[in-house]
Structures are given as C-alpha cells and as structure tokens.
Amino acid sequence: MEFQLPSLLVLIPILLGLISSLNTLLWFLNWTWTNFLRPPKDLKGCYGSWALVTGAADGIGRAISFELANRGLNLVLLDRDAPKLETTAKEILHGHDVEVRTLVSDLCVDREDELVRKVREVIEGLDVGVVINNAGTTHRDPLFFDEVDDRLVESIVRVNVEAATWVTKAAVPGMLERKRGVVVNIGSGSASFLPSFPLFAVYSATKAYIHMFTRSISLEYKHHGIDIECQPILDAFSPVASAGFCANFNQELVDSQNHIELEKEKISNLTCLAS
C-alpha cells in the first residue's frame, strides 16, 4: 500500500498537538494535586521539631509562626520589635503546646558576624529543621533611584539580601549534620512575575537575588536531604508595602511631570498593581 505524503504531513502536526496537549494536561493535574489535593507534609517528622522565623512579630511572619505552631513545631522567633515579638510569643504559648524562644535583632544594624553569632547561639542544641527567611523592607512611596536615601538603600540590601544569606548560613550546618531540613525564602512578585519594577528598583533587585540564591543552593543541598525553595508574594498585599501603595503609586506618576513620558512607557509592566 502506498503511503500518501499529504497524509503524513497532516499526521505529524496532529501528533505534536496531542503530545503538547497531554503535557499541558499532566502539568495542570500535577499543579492541582500539589496545591489543593495533596495531604500536608508532616513538617516535624520530615525536617525537625524546631522552626526559625525572621520578621515574626507582624504580618506574614506572624501568620507563618502561628501556622507552624498549629503543626506542633517549637519556634525561634526573630524580630527587631521587642514588644511585638514578646506579644506574639505569649499568644502562641497561650494557644499551643509548644516551646517558643525569641531573638531580638535589628537586621538593618547587626553586621554579618554578629547576626550569625546570635542565631547560632539561640539555635544551639535545637533540632532546627525549618527556617523561614521572611524579614523584608523597602521604602514606603515609589521613588526614582537617585531619590532614595543612601541609608535606606543600605537597609534594604542588608535586610533583604544579607540577613537572609547569613541566617541561612548559620542554620545549614546543623541541617547537614542531621541530613534533613528546609529553608523557605520569601520572594516577591516584582522579581518573579514582572520584567521590570521601576520606582522600587532596589527592592525588586534584592528579591531577584533571593530567587537566584535559592535556586542555586537548592541544587547544592538537595542530595543532602535539605529542601530550599522561594515563595513569591504579591507585595501590594504585604506589610512591606504601605496601606496606600496603589494610590501612592498612581499619584507619584501624576506628580512626576518631568518624567511622565518615561512612565507612560513603563506603566504597562505594572498594570497588575491596579487589580
């Protein structure tokens, strides 16, 4: 039987389309299972009985701390606000049968050697298997790079980049000894979902570092029983951003008359902030 060339030319695209559709379907099923159907992991059994959370006194860090306590993990809570930190610790102890230790540290001020020393001292002898690098900061209002105060730039880099790096550095050796652990770095939608993020350039750049840092060391330690991942958030809904973020952003564009043409070109990259 002769094989018709036109039939072959029709069959190949159909097969490729079926393969592509099947691949998409498998991805969707896996995504649905992972996010909605898969039973929660036993963090205490898989990684260890203690968790370290930075920026734990407020916002996302506080919510994460309560959730970890719900799962039976003892907590080391790190924050610069001592009164809020103490309040959070008391509330967790009141409603959960866990141990809580607190570490007051201003990540804008503490140098790397001092931060590593403090963290290692408080976690010494503890089975710290979960580390949440949640602490983060940025400026309140949208600003052009040259308008951001030098000390504020330094603070953003210290908290968002250096603190996450050195806290991880302090915790990983213990995980290596126990051959288990997980580090979760809180990322940002500004670095993972958008091609650029003007007026918050330093902040988004520090979060881009967190993404690459996480991806790289994840490959280094995945064969040692240590999971390392980055969880991006939408910053307009986090305490890092001001309550009037969207309104301030739009107002800044209107007031920046000298740069209005430039902003018209860039605003298409930021439309998600209006939702």
Angle at 82 between CA 78 and CA 88, to 5 degrees: 70
Distance of CA 97 to the CA centre of its chain: 27
Residue 246's contacts (CB-CB under 8 Å, 6 or more residues apart) are: 236, 273, 274
3-state SS, residue 68: helix
Rg for the chain, CA atoms, rounded? 23
Neighbours of 224 (CB within 10 A): 13
φ/ψ of residue 54, rounded to 5? -95, 150
221 is catalytic: no
- Return the beta strands (E) in the chain as ranges: 50-54, 74-79, 100-104, 128-133, 181-188, 226-233
CA distance 122 to 109: 19
Task: Give Dmax over CA atoms of the chain in angstroms.
Answer: 85
Query: Which of these is catalytic: 47, 203, 209, 221?
Result: 203
Task: Say what angle helices 82-95 and 59-70 make with each other, to 10 degrees.
Answer: 20
Instruction: Tell me how far CA of residue 12 lies from CA of 7, 16, 17, 22, in angstroms.
Output: 9, 6, 9, 15
The amino acid that residue 211 corresponds to is H
Active site residues: 203
